[in-house]
Amino acid sequence: MTLPSVQPSAAPPASLELPGHRLLLGTAEPMPLDNGGTLGPFHLAYQTYGTLNADRSNAVLVCHALTGDQYVAERHPITGKPGWWELMVGPGRPIDTDRYFVICSNVIGGCMGSEGPKETDPATGRPWGLSFPVVTIADMVRAQKLLIDHLGIDRLFCVIGGSMGGMQVLEWAATYPERVFAAVPIATAARHSAQNIAFHEVGRQSIMADPDWHGGDYLNRGTRPKRGLAVARMAAHITYLSEPALHRKFGRNLQDRSRISFGFDADFQVESYLRHQGISFVERFDANSYLYITRAMDYFDLAAEHGGVLANAFRTPGPKGGTATPVRFCLVSFSSDWLFPTCESRAVVHALNAVAANVSFVEIESDKGHDAFLLDEPEFYQVVRGFLEGCAEHRGLPRTGS
């Protein structure tokens, strides 16, 4: 009847068993963090697709969202499902791996091989748990920049991502404008709204209310707060969709029976669907990582990082109001996204206009809600393809990548 019947076969595999690259960074000196401390040496796990060209000018950094990871365009090592952005990244896709060299790293604080609460604290030899520092979007980007340095890339051709990925894109453009040619922040915001903080807090409280959480020390206790994490995912998942999409997909359709059961089983298809979302999520995600990454999103406030004026994030100080960012922007929002509604993208566009930056902005008509950026939305892919092709021409990238 209830989630207690959820018994995922096992915890996600140890990071050493995951396919792909895993780099030790911050070895010479630890990386500074926004909380005033440092991190290092630390691991960053990443994947690449395509080939870096001779002058290293065709690199595209993809930034993943809250529960995403580095497996952008290949089978996921745990779920066995296609990569989360195979519609966007691959041969002939808008981010064409025959032309571009695509990099995606798991964020720090994450649970797919990058340093995070699930990993081993070298100082103690035990899982970090809550002793892992609370990191920010800027910290995540700082780690990615070390990776880009390591790969010898002076300037990324493009940084692109949706939702929390879009926050990283904005942070990249604001902090390292000389290292970014083009930026595509999708379905995102320059700061997390009160409502979004509230939804995140519900998810965190659900995890922390699970007795198996053990104050974050569950890995040392041989447990995992599966039920709390599943409920957190269920609540969040509703916010990724839209009422019209839920109505179209499920309506009030009943599950495997002709009439209601007068009980608490999943009578409605939307209930089974949600339960499945919760159950499958705990098989691949770490509960403490969920706390850390939601917190990083809550803390994100790009204007606050620049004296309270968002436009200041996109100009370097100087006479006559400073110099506008050299980065070319293309912002995308989706009409039915109520988690990161269009007005949030528009606020960024206004700030970019205020410094006369190079910016285009498209709101895609879609009833699929926030998740639209992960789904089949032809107009969206056409917009990204067109923008990248235009930028590639400006950048002088040849038609083929290597």
- Residues lying near a second copy in the complex (CB under 8 A) are found at 1-4, 34-35, 130, 133-134, 191-195, 197-199, 201-202, 204-206, 208-211, 227-228, 230-231, 234-235, 238, 241, 243, 246-247, 249-252, 260, 262-264, 266-268, 270-271, 274-275, 278, 291, 295, 298-299, 301, 338, 341
**Sign of the torsion angle spanned by Cα atoms 153, 361, 137, 294:** negative
Question: Any idea which residues carry the catalytic annotation?
Answer: 163, 337, 370
CA dist 37 and 291 (Å) reads 19
Tokens found for residue 129:
């748990």
Take residue 17 and report the two structure tokens written for it.
């068993």
Q: What is the radius of gyration, based on Cα positions, of the chain?
A: 21
- 371 labelled ligand-binding: yes
The binding site for substrate comprises 233, 371
